Amino acid sequence: MATEETKAVMAQMDAAADVAEAELRKTLEDNPEHKEGIMYALGWMRSHYMAAGYKRMGRTMVTLHKELGN
């Protein structure tokens, strides 16, 4: 059974995920020129997450972002 502290952390993570999703949706809406690149990244994530897991895929994305200097 989850502790109250764990439940609070999970609620914060859920809220952060909601903010991130809203931001990405707004980016797509406001910048249609980015749709192709975003769709590629989303498809890449979708095709690998079951085998590799979200956490590893997220680390890969952050590492590449740092390497590319953005």
Q: Which residue has the tokens 């590492």?
A: 63
Q: 8 and 25: one domain? A: yes
Query: How many domains does the chain contain in total?
Result: 2
- The torsion region of residue 69 among left (phi > 0), alpha (psi -120 to 50) and beta comes to left
| Cβ atoms 15, 7 nearer than 8 A | no
Residues 6+ apart with CB under 8 A from 48: 57
Tell me how far apart the terminal alpha carbons of the chain are, to the nearest angstrom. Answer: 41
* Confidence at residue 2, expressed as pLDDT on a 0 to 100 scale: 77
20 and 5 fall within a common domain: yes
* 70, 39: one domain: yes
What is the residue range of 54's domain? Answer: 35-70
Q: What is the pLDDT of residue 1?
A: 62
Give me the average pLDDT of each 10-residue run along the chain (70 residues): 89 97 97 96 95 95 92
What's the residue count for the chain?
70
Same domain, 20 and 42: no
**Do 26 and 57 belong to one domain?**
no
